[in-house]
Amino acid sequence: MPESRSIPPRVWILAALALAVAVVVIIGPALFDRFTLNVLTRSMIYAMLAVTVDILWGYTGILTFGQAAFFGAGAYASAMVLSHLGATPAMLALALALAILVPMLLGAFVGWLSFGHGSTPLYATVISLVVPIVVTQLVFSGGVWTGSSSGLVGYSGLPLGLQGYFRLTGICLIITTVIALVFTRSDDGKLLVAIRDNEARCAYLGLDPQRLKIALTTILAGVAGIAGFLYANASGVVAPESTGFVFGTEIVIWTALGGRGTIIGPVMGAIGIDYLSAQLSGDLPFLWNLVVGALFVVMIILLPNGLAQLAGMVLPRRHGEQASQAGSPGLAAEAAGNGAENGNRVLAVSGLGKSFGSLQVLQGIDLDVRPGELVSLVGPNGAGKTTLMRCLSDGTEATTGRVSIAGQDISGMTPDEIVALGVGRKFQVASVFDSLTVADCLRLARASRKAPSLLRRSATLGLPAAAADILRSTGLDGMLGRPVSLLSHGQKQSLELAMVVALEPKLILLDEPTAGLTKVERTTIGATLQKLTGELGFAAILVEHDLDFVRDISTRIVVLHQGKLVLDGSVDQVVNSEMVRTIYSGGAHA
């Protein structure tokens, strides 16, 4: 995404753009005939919906057809109040309130249904298909209340007239678009992309992606409800079609053709396509839909990011500039608040077991870890090392036994809750956010401690001293503005370690942090780990195959074999034991 980094010019451009559009909206009625005004009013309402779909789908990666249901619910709530109770100012206010509240309640419910712990993106899409169908059927079965299949007509709404509605809708669209632009480009908006890129990492940064998605669904349902209110007033008619799943797919089509993840693109897409449909459908109704459908297919296959992507290819990109130092945020070290409570156990595991069906992967694991310890977990492939790490960082994993972090039992807790207790987990394959910059990733790692701004983009990046040290020793401090996708494998590993340390955990879990790294990079990471545990009082558990590496840096070694903990002792005890030689003989060293 090419975008300038410093705030003032962006704001000016945005303000100027909004102003220019506002002028068009204000003088528009003088330029257009009745038909065009009518159509454009409707198109602009649809454009508001396209913005909500873009935030959900383009930014957060949730493909939804459900916005149609929220739109329809808002429209019907308004129309029902206005038809059955009249259009007095009080009732209009009630209609607006209900048009926002009803969809939001529905949205909260749908969000809760769609985003449980461990639900798949496909399931959310499935639910978003079912919701419009259910709402449509409710409308059909509503009898006189909803007008059933013929809809509701002949009620009066806001006393505005054609031109008034055009202006009101235009202003609402500008406000929606500006808010969406500011939000998606703020520090908080990066969260959406982070969720799309790597939901697991979000959870292991102590964020609750499911709750965020439910909140997002709820709020955007409210926005769709407002659009529904405008529609019910401006068109003077609501029909079951505007709640349906086919309409939901149309919104997605506009968004896709305009360019997902750009906000402006979907607005243009919705207005352009809806306006052209109205103009052309009189002459060649089927052909027009045919063309739109065919374009949509081609677009999804060849240009998944829409026309905006094409524009991006033609116009010079600003990646080079972004990668340079010019605009990258300053690094500010914060005082570390990692009070090492020596002596207390950070981690206590007793009788831990895990089985998949009848296959017992772990059994009877007992393990204590104290602050300042660097415990290495070794064992041949399939010994259950990674499974053990999972059981320590996700309370829903273990089958039997008890794991407590800082004295608190974690059974049933989700990863983000365990992170809040002070556990940071580094994955075997570097788990970072590919679409973001280095600075954004680190800022997200701090998000669970310091809520990011909804509106602004910070110019500085505040990190604990330990995390800043890692950046300096690996040279990442010079590439804060660089997109993560351009980093090398080793740099990604270091970045992830810095992100985990930035959480200021009491206990760090590291799953083969040196896999695939060069000798120099290994040494750097080893030194960093020793410093974190020896000097700063972190505790760490390290899964590692390389016994030489382990011998150099560990304070204690634990051997896992066939799901059982067979040895737990000092470095010398373990390295010289007969058992380890037996287990590792025959080259289980992969």
Partner 1 sequence: MTLLLDMVTTAAILFIVAAGLLAIFGVLKIINFAHGAWLTIGAYCAVATAGLGLNPWAALPIAFAVGAILGGITELVIVRPLYRRPLDAILATWGLGIVIGQLITLWFGRDVQFTPNLLSGTVDVFGVGYSLYRLCAVAAALVIGLAFTFLLEGTRLGLSAQAVIMNETLARALGIDTARVRLATFMVGTGLAALAGVLLTPLTSVDPNMGVAWLIGSFMLVMVAGSSFSTLAIACLVFGGTQVLVSTFVSPIFGGITVAVLCALVLRISPKGFARA
User: Quick check: 152 and 231 in contact, CB under 8 A?
Assistant: no
**Could you give the CA distance from residue 353 to residue 411 in angstroms, rounded to a whole number?**
12
* Contact with partner 1 (CB under 8 A) among 4, 36, 38, 125: 125
**Could you give the CA distance from residue 265 to residue 193 in angstroms, rounded to a whole number?**
17
Q: Using the minimum distance from each CB to partner 1, give the nearer residue, 129 or 406.
A: 129
Segment contacting partner 1 (CB under 8 A): 89-97, 162-170, 246-254, 359-367? 246-254
CB 463 to partner 1: min, Å: 35
CB 241 to partner 1: min, Å: 12
**Position 123 contacts partner 1 (CB under 8 A):** yes
**Position 459 contacts partner 1 (CB under 8 A):** no
**Could you give the CA distance from residue 237 to residue 150 in angstroms, rounded to a whole number?**
10
CB 133 to partner 1: min, Å: 6
**Position 109 contacts partner 1 (CB under 8 A):** no
User: Quick check: 209 and 62 in contact, CB under 8 A?
Assistant: no
**Could you give the CA distance from residue 108 to residue 90 in angstroms, rounded to a whole number?**
27
**Position 119 contacts partner 1 (CB under 8 A):** yes
**Position 429 contacts partner 1 (CB under 8 A):** no
**Position 246 contacts partner 1 (CB under 8 A):** yes
**Position 134 contacts partner 1 (CB under 8 A):** yes
User: Quick check: 135 and 250 in contact, CB under 8 A?
Assistant: no
- Dihedral Cα 337, 341, 346, 350, nearest 10 deg: -160
**Position 356 contacts partner 1 (CB under 8 A):** no
CB 572 to partner 1: min, Å: 43
Residues in region 291-320 near partner 1 by CB under 8 A: 292-294, 296-297, 300-301, 304
Helical H runs in 66-160? 67-85, 89-114, 121-140
Residue 363: φ, ψ to 5°:
-150, 140
Cα-based distances in Å from 97 to 234, 257, 386: 17, 33, 51
**Position 203 contacts partner 1 (CB under 8 A):** no
**Position 113 contacts partner 1 (CB under 8 A):** yes
State how far Cα 220 lies from the chain centre: 15
**Position 289 contacts partner 1 (CB under 8 A):** yes
**Position 359 contacts partner 1 (CB under 8 A):** no
**Position 200 contacts partner 1 (CB under 8 A):** no
Q: Report the interhelical angle of 7-31 vs 34-53 (nearest 10°).
A: 150
Q: Using the minimum distance from each CB to partner 1, give the nearer residue, 109 or 275.
A: 109
As given in the structure block, the two tokens for residue 530 are 């020793």
Q: Using the minimum distance from each CB to partner 1, give the nearer residue, 32 or 123.
A: 123
**Position 550 contacts partner 1 (CB under 8 A):** no
Q: Using the minimum distance from each CB to partner 1, give the nearer residue, 252 or 439.
A: 252
* Contact with partner 1 (CB under 8 A) among 6, 15, 20, 137: 137
As given in the structure block, the two tokens for residue 576 are 């010289």
**Position 392 contacts partner 1 (CB under 8 A):** no
Q: Using the minimum distance from each CB to partner 1, give the nearer residue, 297 or 429.
A: 297
Residues in region 40-69 near partner 1 by CB under 8 A: 63
**Position 150 contacts partner 1 (CB under 8 A):** no
Taking the CA of residue 23 as centre, how many other CA atoms within 13 Å lie in the half-sphere pointing to its CB?
5
**Position 485 contacts partner 1 (CB under 8 A):** no
350, containing H or E segment: strand 347-356
As given in the structure block, the two tokens for residue 404 are 């407590």
* Contact with partner 1 (CB under 8 A) among 26, 129, 323, 333: 129
216's CB contacts (< 8 A; 6+ apart) are: 55, 56, 60, 111, 192
Segment contacting partner 1 (CB under 8 A): 201-209, 222-230, 248-256, 464-472? 248-256
Burial class (CB in 10 A: 0-12, 13-18, 19+), 211: middle
How many residues touch partner 1 under the rule CB under 8 A: the total is 37
* Contact with partner 1 (CB under 8 A) among 8, 30, 286, 315: 286
User: Quick check: 64 and 124 in contact, CB under 8 A?
Assistant: yes
| Sites of contact with partner 1 (CB under 8 A) | 63, 113, 116, 118-123, 125-127, 129-130, 133-134, 137, 140-141, 245-246, 249, 252-253, 256, 286-287, 289-290, 292-294, 296-297, 300-301, 304
